[in-house]
Structure 1
Amino acid sequence: MKVLVTGFDPFGGEKVNPAFEAVKMLPDKIAGAEIIKLEIPTVFSKSGPAVAAGIEEYQPDIVINVGQAGGHSCVTIERVAINLAEARIPDNNGEQPSGEPLQAEGEPAYFATIPVKAIVKNIRDHKIPCHVSYTAGTYVCNAVMYQVLHMTAEKYPNIRAGFVHVPYAAEQVVDKPNGTPFMSLEQIAECLRYAIEASVKNLVDIEGIIGESH
C-alpha cells in the first residue's frame, strides 16, 4: 500500500509551514504502507494539479493533504470540502478569488473518504487532543481537499482521500500574542503518523457520534 502525504509551502508571511515540516518528519513506512511525501504550492490554480501529478507518478492508495490552520489548538480532521473559493488574503501567486466555484460543474461538496472518526480515535487513544472539523475554510486548504476528492470521485474511485489541519508550530508563535495556540512539530508529526496508521488499518470508518452543536 502507498500513502501520498502532501504539505503546503509557507504562506501569509510565515517563514515555515508546519504542515510540510511535519510531513518531512514522517518515517518512510507506517503500518506497512510506503509513505510518499510531497510539498505543494499554496496557490489555488496549482495545488490541485500538483497533487494530480503526484497521483499519476506514484499511484497511491490513500492521499492525505495537510495544511496549516493558525489559531487551532490541536490537529483537526476535515470531514467535508465545499465547491467555493473565497480568499481573505491573496495566495502565493497573488490569486484572490471571491465567491467562485472550484469546479463549474462539480458537486456542491464532497465528504472525506479516509476514516475520519477512526483517525480521531487513534490520535486520542495516544493521549493527544484531536477533533473532527466540519469546515476546511474557503482558502487553498479547502480548494485542494475539494479538488482531490473531485478528482478521485471522477477518475480514481479506489483512492481514499482527506485533509488534516495542523496548528502553528512553536517557533511560529514566538512573536505572536500571548495565548496563541501551537503544538511542537514533533507532536504534529506524531498525530500525522497516527492518522495514517488509522487510514491504513480501517478500510471503512468506525461507528460513533462525534458531531458539533454549533
Structure 2
Amino acid sequence: MDTKKTVIVTGFEPFGEHKVNASWIAVQELEKLSLGEDIHLLVKEIPVEYKAVSELLPSLWKQYQPELVVHVGVSGMATSVTLEQCGHNHGYNRLDNCDFCPNSQCCIDQGPDCIMSVIDMEAVCKKVNSSSMGVAFSVSKDAGRYLCDYTYYTSLYLGNRRCAFVHVPPLGKRHSAEDLGRALQAVILEMVQRLEDHMDHNQDQDRCQLGH
C-alpha cells in the first residue's frame, strides 16, 4: 500500500512582460530536487486563463486527493520569495491570456470574500528565514487580483484551505532558477510538516480581516 503523501505544485505559463515565467522554471527546479522519499510530488503548468483554472483545479483535487497544493506565481514587484496567507473572491477585472475576465469578476459565486490558508505563513517564513539559505522570504495578504489570486482562492475553497501560494521574483532579479527551486523545497517541506498540526483547528479562521 502506498503511504506517500501527494503534494501538487503548480507554476504558470508565460504572460504579458513575463516571456519566461519564473514560477514554472522554479517549479521545474523543485521537481529535480524532489521533496524526499515520503512525498509524491506532482508538478503542473497552469494556463493564465480564468476558464482553464476553473476547469483544471477541481479535477486536480478530485483525481489526486493531495495532502497539499502549492501554487507558485511570478511577481514583477517581488524582491523576496513571498508567502501569501489568503486568497480573495472579488475584483477580477484584468483580462487573461485569452482577453477574458469573469462577468461576475469573482472566483466562486456566494463564496466568502476572503479565505485564509490553514498554514500559518508567518511561522513558516520565520523558520525558513532562519535557515541561512541565501534567499529572503516574506509574507503577504494580497496576491494581486489576477490569475495568481484567482487560482489561490479557488484552490483554498476546493481543498478546505489545505493550500498555499508562493510568489517568486523574476529570474535574474536577485535569484537564479536553482535558488528559487531550493527556496520552494524549503518552504513546502516546512508547510507539510506544519499542516498536520493545523488540520485539527476549527474553521473560525476562514475569513481573514483585510488590513490587519
Which of the five TM-score ranges fits, normalised by the shorter chain? 0.7 to 0.9
Number of aligned residues: 191
Do the aligned partners of 2:61 and 2:158 also contact (CA within 8 Å) in 1? Answer: no
* Alpha carbons of structure 1 residues 70 and 31: separation in structure 2 relative to 1, 3 Å: farther
Q: Which residue of 2 aligns with 1:126?
A: 131
Partner Cα separation in structure 2 for residue 79 and residue 31 of structure 1: 28
The more displaced of 39-48 and 142-151 is 39-48
| Correspondence 1:92 to 2:85 | no
Residue equivalent to 1:66: 72
Structure 1 residue 32, shift from structure 2 partner? 2.5
Q: Read off the aligned partner of 1:7 and give its amino acid letter.
A: G
Correspondence list, 1:20-99, <5 A: 20-26=24-30, 27-30=33-36, 32-88=38-94, 90-97=95-102
Q: Which residue of 2 aligns with 1:4?
A: 8
User: Do the aligned partners of residues 183 and 97 (structure 1) sit closer, same or farther apart at CA in structure 2, a change above 3 Å counting?
Assistant: farther
Question: Do residues 193 (structure 1) and 193 (structure 2) align?
Answer: no
Give the letter for the 1:110 counterpart.
I
Q: Which runs of 5+ in 2 are unaligned?
A: 199-210
Q: Does 1:141 align with 2:154?
A: no
Instruction: Using the TM superposition, give the Cα deviation of residue 97 of structure 1 relative to its aligned residue in structure 2, in angstroms.
Output: 4.8
Shift of the 35–115 alpha-carbon distance from structure 1 to 2, 3 Å rule, reads farther
Q: Are residue 112 (structure 1) and residue 117 (structure 2) matched?
A: yes
Identity of aligned residues (%): 29
Q: TM-score w.r.t. structure 1 length?
A: 0.81
Q: Give 1:193 deviation, angstroms.
A: 0.3
Q: For residue 99 of structure 1, report the CA deviation from its aligned partner.
A: 7.2
Give the TM-score normalised by structure 2.
Answer: 0.82
Q: Distance in 1 between matches of 2:16 and 2:34?
A: 30
* Conserved 8 A contact 1:80-1:135: yes
Give the SS at the match of 1:117: helix
Q: Distance in 2 between matches of 1:30 and 1:94?
A: 40
Contact kept, 8 Å, 2:9 with 2:72, in 1: the verdict is yes
In the alignment, structure 1 segments of 5+ residues that lack a partner are 154-158, 171-180, 206-212
Q: CA deviation at 1:98?
A: 7.6
Question: What is aligned with 2:171?
Answer: 169
**In structure 1, distance between residues paired with 2:184 and 2:34:** 13
Verify the 8 A CA contact 2:81 2:166 in the aligned structure 1.
Answer: yes
In the TM superposition, what whole-angstrom CA distance separates every residue of 1:33-88 from its partner, at most 9, and x where no partner exists? Answer: 12111111111121132222222222211011111111110100001111114344
Q: Which piece of structure 1 moves more, 144-153 or 120-129?
A: 120-129
- Equivalent in the alignment of 2:197: 204
